[in-house]
Amino acid sequence: MKTLRAAGILGIGHYAPEKVLTNKDLEKMVDTTDEWITERTGIKERRIAAPHEATSDLGVKAGLRALENAGLKAEEIDLIIMCTLSADYKFPAAGCQVQDKLGAVNAGAFDLAAGCSGFVYGLAVASQMVATGSVNKILVIGAEVLSRVINWEDRNTCVLFADGAGAAVVGPVEEGYGFYDYVLGADGAGGEAIICHAGGSRIPVTEENVREKLHLAQMDGSEVFKFASRIMPEAINKVLAKAGLTADDIDIFVPHQANVRIIQSGAKRLKQPLEKFFINVQKYGNTSAGSVPIALSEAWEEGRIKKGDNVLLVGFGTGLTWASCVLKWSR
Ligand code: UT7
């Protein structure tokens, strides 16, 4: 990565809504079992936003924690990148609601729609902007309230997806630390594999398609599983090669939390011990753009990341998209 100055993470934080929905609760809602969900996905429970909470509310809470962690005030932020596919409104961007609620009066704001890869895409954009010296501090948030866009009668999706948010402040760091490099990828031809058909400009919402639940998420689980299991190690190897590192140089991998089996197969393909992969899918399910920053924030809180550690983040999901980045932790 070409840089004029080192860019890294100055602070992180996350927020998960209070309400816990367990596999046992889901047994009462759809034809499923705790045993199936645990065995096939690793998920035991997930968080669901309160009726008054929308995606920007979760983003604000995570953002405030990241700011506090970085010792910064909202006025010091130059830009907010809100990574989400479940914004409060079709427009305006949820990033603008976050900007207002935080009182980030000096910040621009936009939404970034790269699904479960969104947060890593956001870090790539932010780190480059900081590295060129064009801006100083960028708040990157990954937040979702997927409970409002999933079909609660569809056991293929409703046992997987959930709500949550994580955030990081990206800014200049000591030379020799911060982002080494990143890889961003997309394969739009596979876009039908995870899609919300109605509500966009192609299929506007009608009474009929709402009845058919076309305004809610649909997923071809096994297609996405095959894609995810292939792309996760590939995206990791690509960013390692770009950064001139090997998997053995990485202290902790923080992958998108979609399914513990995808993480296990990635670790095996990379010939790395599973203990080097941070896993919290059992507690939160798949929170799409929220997943990587929540995992990163929890890993840091648990003391799993220390100054000088090489940290690798990887996301994959709707689009189809994938993204990976590697950084030397600077704090
Ligand atoms: O964040 C974006 C990335 N998303 C992902 O990475 C998700 C990737 N996909 C997956 O994680 C997995 O494909 C799933 C967890 C969605 C499904 O697991 P699977 O092992 O691939 O199961 P399957 O789709 O092959 O289904 C196996 C069986 C089917 O029954 P039959 O046809 O064999 O009789 C399904 O109908 O399991 C059934 N099934 C369920 N049974 C109980 C599917 N969902 C459920 C359920 N409870 N919730």
pLDDT tens track for 277-294: 999 999 999 999 999 999
DSSP conformation class of 173: -
Ligand 1 center–CA 74 separation, angstroms: 42
User: Which helix (H) or strand (E) is 41 found in, with range?
Assistant: helix 34-41
CB 82 within 8 A of CB 94: yes
Residue 120 in this model has a pLDDT that exceeds 80: yes
The mean pLDDT value for 187-208 works out to 96
| Residues 57, 63, 69, 75, Cα dihedral to 10° | -120
| Percent of the chain surpassing pLDDT 70 | 99
Sole residue written with tokens 């003391």: 303
CB of 314 sitting under 6 A from ligand 1: no
156 Cα–ligand 1 center, Å? 6
Q: Would you say the CB of residue 32 lies under 6 angstroms from ligand 1?
A: yes
Q: Nearest residue CA, atom 41 of ligand 1?
A: 32
Tell me the one-letter amino acid at 251. D
Helix residue ranges per DSSP H, 110-243 = 118-131, 155-158, 207-211, 221-243
Confidence class of residue 56 from pLDDT cuts 50, 70 and 90? very high
Instruction: State CA 101 to chain mean position distance.
Output: 21
Please tell me whether the peptide bond between 92 and the residue prior to it is cis, using omega within 30 degrees of 0.
yes
Residue 5, pLDDT score? 95
Q: How far is CA 129 from the centre of its chain?
A: 20
Nearest protein Cα to ligand 1, atom 44? 156
Best residue among 23, 28, 40, 116 to mutate for probing ligand 1, ranked by most atoms within 8 Å of CB: 40
- Cα of 221 vs centre of ligand 1, distance in Å, is 6
* Distance in angstroms (rounded) separating the CA atoms of residues 293 and 65: 12
Predicted confidence at residue 252, as pLDDT, reads 98
Catalytic residue list:
116, 256, 286
